[in-house]
Amino acid sequence: MTNKINISVTHSIVINQTCETVWDFTQDFSKCTLWDTSMIECKLISESPERKAAIKAKGGLQAILEYKIFDRPAKTTLRMTDIKAPIIVGDGGDDRKLFFS
């Protein structure tokens, strides 16, 4: 049996724009590689019944992001599925959250 290590990452920045402007920019997968330097490729693959995106990132990570909450412009919560990566075996369910105040 392998030992699992749980990792949580939190990061905050101040952006002098409206919440809606920031939301629309960060949730547009055609622009993801402009602001997330770890991403090689990102594309939206479905809007409904559930919003999903396919990603390829540096280090060999490939996954599907499945949104659990998509509450514009307040909060997103998602999980990774179909993970192909050298060191990741799962995500914890809601590893990527964006909060705007």
Q: Is the pLDDT of residue 88 over 70?
A: no
Token pair listed for 88: 């990741």
Query: Closest Cα partner for 78 from 57, 100, 53?
Result: 53
CB atoms within 10 A of CB 78: 23
Q: Which residue matches tokens 């959250």?
A: 97
Kind plus residue range of the DSSP H or E element containing 32 = helix 32-35
Query: pLDDT digit string (tens) for 31-43?
Result: 999 989 999 999 9
Please tell me the predicted confidence (pLDDT) of residue 1. Answer: 54
Query: pLDDT digit string (tens) for 3-19?
Result: 777 777 788 889 999 99
Entry pTM: 0.71
Mean pLDDT score, 67-75: 91
Q: Exposure string (b/e) for 42-69, b if CB count within 10 Å is 16 or more? A: beeeeeeeebbbbbebeeebebbbebee
